[in-house]
Amino acid sequence: MSSPQMPPWLQEQIMKIQQTQQNLQSIMTQKQHLEIEKAESTKALEELKKIGDGDAVFKQAGTVLIKSTKKESIDELEEKIELAKTRATVLDKQETRVKESLKEQEAKITEMMKAGSAPPGAAPPAADNPRK
Per-residue pLDDT of the chain (132 residues; tens, 9 = 90+): 455 687 888 889 999 999 999 999 999 999 999 999 999 999 999 999 999 988 999 999 999 999 999 999 999 999 999 999 999 999 999 999 999 999 999 998 888 888 776 555 554 444 444 444
Going from the C-alpha of 112 to that of each of 10, 12, 13, 41, the distances in angstroms are: 9, 13, 10, 49
Residues 22, 117 contacting (CB under 8 angstroms):
no
Question: For the domain bounded by 9-115, which CATH number is listed?
Answer: 1.10.287.370
d(CA 83, CA 41): 11
At a CB cut-off of 8 Å and minimum separation 6, what does 31 contact?
88, 91, 92, 95
- Secondary structure letter of residue 132 according to DSSP: -
What is the pTM for the complete model shown?
Answer: 0.74
